[in-house]
Every structure is written in C-alpha cells, then in structure tokens.
Chain A
Amino acid sequence: MAVAPPNPEHAPAVLEARAIHKSFGRMKAVCGLELAVHAGEIYGLVGPDGAGKTTSIRVLAGLMGADAGEARVDGKDPMRDRVAVRERIGYMPQQYSLYGDLTIDENLAFFADMFCLPEKEYRERADRLLALTRLERFRSRRADALSGGMYKKLALSCSLLHRPRLLLLDEPTNGVDPVSRREFWDLLGEFTHEGMAVLISTPYMDEAARCHRVGLMHHGRMLVEGRPGELVRGFPHSVLRAVGGDREGLTARLGVHPRVLALSPAGSRVRVVVERGGEAEVRALISEQGATCEGAVPDFEDLFLARLREEES
C-alpha cells in the first residue's frame, strides 16, 4: 500500500484536543485525550473495540459534550460554536446513517441542502465525487440496495460535498471487503491532497500503516503516538515465525512463557513477539516442540499487540 506524502505535520493544526475526559456513569470512555491533526494529514486512531475511539470522535464532532478538556476545530469549540464547526467538518458515523429509502442522488442532494450548497456547486461536486467513487451508474439506486463498499463510498461522498476542513471517519471500512477497503483509502489520499485533515478510527492494523500518524488507544487512553514507519523501526523487541511441529503444545507453552509478548496463529504458522533479550530462550523452546523457527520483520500489529500486553501487565 502506498504511503501518503509525508510531513503535513508542519501544516497548521485543524483539529486540536487537550486533556479530554468523558465518562458514562462509572465507565471512563476517554481519559485525557491529547491530539492534533494538521491540514493534509491522515491521523489514524487505532485500537480494539471499546478503546474509546467512537466516543473521542463524537466529542470532537460536538455530538457529545466532554466532561473536561477542550477541543478546537479551526480554533472553534465544537459545543459552543456548533454551526461554525459543523460547516467545517464532514462526519461519517460507524453505523449505517444515510436514508436507505432514498437514492444515491437524493441522499447527496439532501445533505447538500443541509449545508446550503448552491445548486451549481453541488452539481459539480456531486459529479466529481460520483466519478471518483465510480458510483455514477447507480445514481438512481436506493442506498439500502447498495453493497457494503458502495454504501461506504456514498457515505464518504455525502460527508465530502461541502469540502470540509476536517473529515471525521469512525471505522469507515468495518465490514467492507479488502478490495473496497483499498479503494476507500486511495480515495482518502485524493482528498488530503487538497489540504483536508482526516481523523480516522480503525481496528485494522494494516490500515494504520497508511496513515501519516497513528495513535494507539486502549481503555480510553493513548498508549503510543507517532508515524507508523518510525514506530515500527523503533520497535525494541523481535519477532519470530514458528512453522510446523505440534502447534497446540507450542502455543500452550509459548502462551505462558514470560518472555513472549504476543502470539498470533496464522494458518500453519505462529507469529511470536519476543521481549528484547529473550530471543535465544524462545528459539530453543520452539525447536524443542519440533518446529522450525525464523526471524521476521516486525509490523504494526506486532507493535500494537506488544504494547497492549505491556500495558496489561
């Protein structure tokens, strides 16, 4: 996957969040979120379900009030300056949120009117978006008759009609096939060229690599933040790949080994993240179980799993 062009960090910050807290009853959904997204930058909010990604995005969109902390979109408070902020953001919620009984054209026209786009501007913009998303042929098809990937592209188009300064995407590729996911990311790249800032949440680690910067969220807190490439390069631990042998015995033994940070079985292989300095020990254990073992290049998922483990212990 192609990485989007670098260093948008020098551009002005479109979105800033400082020490945002949000609880639901006794459950702390977000604790002290700090975040800045710059013009032209794609910032990925990565984390498992329940990490607080959706709540963070809703607070930043002004759909929920924070308990403490402040958010700024182009220097404006999303709760106090609602209209100004809403004119600047495009938002795509996680669940289906368009009108299923309206056609593609009708959905686009409706949201264009919510932003009061002039007719001519709307036509041009809608034509361009539909061309880019290759939805032109389906203009008169109802939204609920679209495939998952097409629906997401329509939702993206609806949130881009008014040329927002900031695009907030909450797990937009959830439940979408890999080809459509790739297409979706290519589209995002197109639009950030125009200087739009994007905050996107995703549970998929491979997608994190396509962001300019990522933040790992867990239990409402930001664990690590940085450029994905640099984060992976700075990964202090090593990764092994065990092939063959008695897989059940192997995973059972490795699972309780104190030096093993993460285990992910993939087909006949087991991917093992080993704490720095413990490589020899683990290699020996793998050979004992009759499996062969080779070194692997760490990727983002290894980093993520290892960080989660460190956090939990």
Chain B
Amino acid sequence: MSAARRFLTRWLALSRKEVIHIVRDVQVVYMALGMPVVLLILFGYAVSFDLERLPIGVVDQDGTPASRHLTEAMTAGDAFEVRERLSDASELESRFRQGKLKAGLVIPEGYGRKLARGTVSESQILLDGADGTTAGIALGYAMGMSQAESRRMLESSGLAPELAIQDRVRLRFNPGMKSAWFIVPGLIAMILSIMAVMLTALTVAREWERGSMEQLFSTPVGRLEVILGKLAPYVVLGMVQVLLVVTMGTVLFGVPVRGSLWLLFGAALLFLVGMLGQGLFISVATRNQQVATQIGFVTSMLPTLLLSGFMFPVANMPVPLQVLSAVIPSRYFIVVLRGVLLKGNGVDVLWPELMALAVFALVMIGLSSARFKRRLD
C-alpha cells in the first residue's frame, strides 16, 4: 500500500470513529444543533438596540393645549409609552429608583404662554442613566422628536426655518437600523467559535483521560493523521451549523444575503479550521477535559463577545485591547460576514481578512501538531 493510501486509510478510519463518538453522544448532538438555535433566538430577540415602549412619566405643570401637544408628539412613535402622569418632578426620581420608569418629561408652568408670546420655551427630559445603553438611545429619540416638533411649530407660525446645514441622512446597508441585521453576523462567529473550540478541546483530552491515546500511540498512526482525523468531522458539523444559523437569520430576522454564499462558506471554513485548531491545541496541551473546557470557553466566547467588534466597535477600544483584538480571528470573520451579508462585498475587498483567517488556521494546526507528542512522558 502506498504512503498516500495509508495516510488516507488512517485519516478516514479516525474520522469515522470520531463520527461514531459524536452520533452516539446525544449531548454533543444537542449541543451542536440546539445551542445555535437557542443562542440565535436569545440574542436575536433579547439583545436589541431598538427602542420600544420605554416607560416614560409625564409631569405636565402647564396643562395647556400646547403642553399636551408636546406630550403627544413625544410619545407618537413606538419609542415611549406614557405609564404615569405625575404632578411633581421629584416623584420621577423615586420611580427611576424603583425601576418603574426609565424616562421623564417635565413641562414647566408657562410653557404654553411663552410659546404663544413667541419666546423660547423649555421642557425637561430626565433619563435613568444607570442603564447607559438605553439612556443613550432614548436621548437620541427624545432630542430628535423635540427638534422635529420645534421645526413643525415654526413652520406653522409662518417663520419658515432654514437651517444653515441640511443633513440628508441615509443609512446604507441597514436602512431600518435593525439590530438583528447587525447581531446575526456576530452571532454566527460566536456560535462557531464556542462550538468549535469546546468540542475539539474535549475530544483529545477525552482520549488521554480514557486511556485510548496510549493504545492509539502504540500503532503506526501519525500525528497529522490523528489531528486531521479529529478535525474533519467537526468541520462538517460546523458547516451544518453555519447553514443553520444563516438560514434562521434570513427566515426569522430577514437578514439579507447580498454577497456570494460561496465566499461566506469559504470564509466560515477557514475560520472553523482555525478555531478547531485552537481547541485541539488546548486539548493537546492540557490533556484534561475540565481544564480544556474552561480554557476553551475563556479563549473563544469572551474574545468573540467583547473584543471582536461583535458588540463594541474595535476602534473605540483602548490601544492595548485593539492590539489584542488583532490576533482574534472572529474579528476578521465578523468583518467578512457583515461584508458579505449586508454589503455584498467580494474577495476584492475582503482579501486581507481572509488572509488573516488562513494564517490563524495554519498557525493553530501547526502548533497543535508540533505540541502533539506521540509519547507518554
């Protein structure tokens, strides 16, 4: 039998064995196919940057048609919902403390009179700053609406207002500012990295713990054969997950696919091999399932969540963290995913990211093969 035939025979046999492990371990199947669905639903519906029905309390001390008009204007959209009408601004704070309200609108006495006189009138917006993200988004909405209301009033009084700068804002790629469109690509990266690192972190460590590694090493099998034999089934499983998450993202959240799916799957393949390699490396180095799981979790999920640009833009991070994020493959993968799904980008734009993913994959496979000693001492 030629050397190549031997290599293939062993690779296939190792992969087949790994598939049997996966298929017979119901937990792995649940984890591999159930977790992406749960995560996608959790993140897709729960993590939303869209503001809907934020409880607002109104303190209308003016009580004129003009003040009522302002209240109506503020709550016209879906952003705010009037939960309570209070008589004193100080009551708002206790409602904030109890968490009953997130925002407050105070219209002082004389609001309508000043307006009628044509002088500048005031209203106060109070926000619960403990929840910074919500407060920030609420502030944007509130300002926007009060400005629109101002302009409308000026127009109706005949003072046609012309601002020095007319902003004509158009949001490209995600005109509706839908959070899901923004989150689903990041979520694909997160699911793949957790699954890939965790599953492979377990597989080699398990063989050490169960003693089968000793038997395996007494055969003429090569380490690259073992590594590739372990990788192949998980690459296939990972691609099934990509398909699952992309399909769900499209069907449930209407995420567009504007670029080439082939490019998307190609990049996913590169990313997967890199993350699987990272998992193998952890597994080879620790030889212990529990330690491997913990290290795997910390080195896959956390960086993808925090440092990859999934939730927080890389450009806003302090310089040391930006440097750190440069070696996190999900950072590049997310750029590719957003590029392909939302912008319809091709290889001409995304090649640096693809290169980075390829380099990471090669380094990880190389490291785990080098570290993978076929001996017990």
Query: Which of A31-39, A94-102, A206-214 is found at the contact surface with chain B?
Result: A94-102
Given contacts A87-B220, A102-B17, contact A93 B214 (CB under 8 A): yes
- The answer, yes or no, to whether B21 is at the interface (CB within 8 Å) is yes
B17 and A93 within 8 A (CB)? no
> What is the total number of residues of chain B having a CB less than 8 Å from a CB of chain A?
28
Q: How far is the CA of A131 from the CA of B24 in the complex (A)?
A: 28
How many A-B pairs fall under 8 Å by CB?
A: 83
- Of A83, A96, A118, the contact of B220 (CB 8 Å cutoff): A83
B211 and A95 within 8 A (CB)? yes
Give every chain A residue within 8 A of B220 (Cβ-Cβ): 82-83, 86-87, 114-116
- The answer, yes or no, to whether B218 is at the interface (CB within 8 Å) is yes
Closest to A109 in B: B13
Pick the most buried of B1, B5, B214: most chain A CB atoms within 10 A of its CB.
B214
A113 and B218 within 8 A (CB)? no
A98 and B215 within 8 A (CB)? yes
Query: Which of B132-140, B233-241, B369-377 is found at the contact surface with chain A?
Result: B369-377
- The answer, yes or no, to whether A307 is at the interface (CB within 8 Å) is no
Give every chain B residue within 8 A of A92 (Cβ-Cβ): 215
Give every chain B residue within 8 A of A64 (Cβ-Cβ): 375-377
What does the 1/0 interface line of A57-77 toward B look like (CB < 8 Å)?
A: 010011111000000000000
What does the 1/0 interface line of B354-377 toward A look like (CB < 8 Å)?
A: 000000000000000000001111
- Considering only residues 1-43 of chain B, those with a C-beta below 8 Å from chain A are 1, 5-6, 9-10, 12-13, 16-17, 20-21, 24-25
- The answer, yes or no, to whether B210 is at the interface (CB within 8 Å) is yes
Interface of B is mostly: helix
Given contacts A98-B212, A110-B13, A114-B10, contact A86 B218 (CB under 8 A): yes
A24 to chain B, nearest CB (A): 8
B376 and A113 within 8 A (CB)? no
Give every chain B residue within 8 A of A87 (Cβ-Cβ): 220
A58 and B376 within 8 A (CB)? yes
Q: How far is the CA of A91 from the CA of B212 in the complex (A)?
A: 12
B21 and A101 within 8 A (CB)? yes
Give every chain B residue within 8 A of A65 (Cβ-Cβ): 375, 377
Given contacts A115-B219, A115-B220, A116-B1, contact A97 B376 (CB under 8 A): no
B184 to chain A, nearest CB (A): 35
B9 and A63 within 8 A (CB)? no
B17 and A63 within 8 A (CB)? no
A61 to chain B, nearest CB (A): 6
- The answer, yes or no, to whether B323 is at the interface (CB within 8 Å) is no
Q: A61-B218, A63-B218, A98-B215 are in contact. List 10 more A-B contacts (CB 8 A).
A: A64-B377, A93-B214, A95-B214, A97-B212, A101-B21, A114-B216, A114-B219, A114-B221, A115-B220, A116-B10
A residues in contact (CB < 8 Å) with B = 24, 58, 61-65, 82-83, 86-87, 89-93, 95-102, 106, 109-111, 113-116, 118, 155, 158-159, 168
